Chains A and B, each alone.
Chain A
């Protein structure tokens, strides 16, 4: 009985762990370098948005003056724009698999 229980556990483990290896074999992703770079840039973009948001909260809570915030916000947005451009470039190299960041109409 005990042996049977262990055998069933082994069977279940083998079936579960081996499942991805059955059927279609997926080799190395030829674009893996680009995809990793894209993921890095996306993470950096999220961090930059958070930074912009934190600067705004700093201004609203009095840690940054209006003028200081304007300067800092400008710097941060410029950095975010640079990141977006790099993201678009990587996406373009990936063959338009994912839609590029579409800028909305400019606000005058």
Chain B
């Protein structure tokens, strides 16, 4: 609305005044640089105490004929200005928002305020993962003392006194009757003494051998499974371990069983799985695989049917109940799984090593 409508026949002076205010308001709205100043201008012209309110007071001076036309004119002018105001307001506000947004831009490549993540030790990662795989087959975790009675570490596991099988494990002695457990198998004996079959348990924890070199630590970890039931066989043992290997290392990996000897199992078997590094090929490209030394197989543990003497010692009636057991070295699993190439890393507790396991 650039100009007043011509059709009105109102006292010329008033009409001029309206036009004056209108033009002033329009100009003020047009040049207000911010929404705030625009609003101030609106109050000045259109507010309760504003210019149009004052001019409305002049209406009393007009004749009854002129009043409706005057009122109409003022309203039309005000509506026109209101519309112009809204138009200006939204233009200014969107400009201001854009400016604000531009000013507030954050460099989100900056580091967050959250501290570096923690990590579980790779030994714990292996133990938790294996326990959870075996947990799906109904196995649950048991632990036991590190300083173990000869009775549980050897005698109950079919190592008679003065038997050469005892030489298989370099043992740390505390006194004549106590050793640092050389394996987690004493947990089997303790569990069978305390709980009634059928049983599916995992024994886990630190074990000790008086042996230390570049590939042997005197203090390492084992995890083992024990299943005691009315009818278990070598086929069940093989099936269980193969399931475990596929779940833990990958579905394409194969498991191989080799005859061996452990006093507490019979038949006994060493367990190999196809090398997860070269997927059993022995070579990565043309390079010999360093994990399996080109054989395509790596040894991961021992297993077998529980020796009748072990069941009987723990008070489990044989042949009514039978069992199988299998065990793995946890560090060995971590070495294979994570490619760790120096066993000293496991116990130095260097944060640069540990931080890599924040999964």
- Are A and B physically bound partners? no
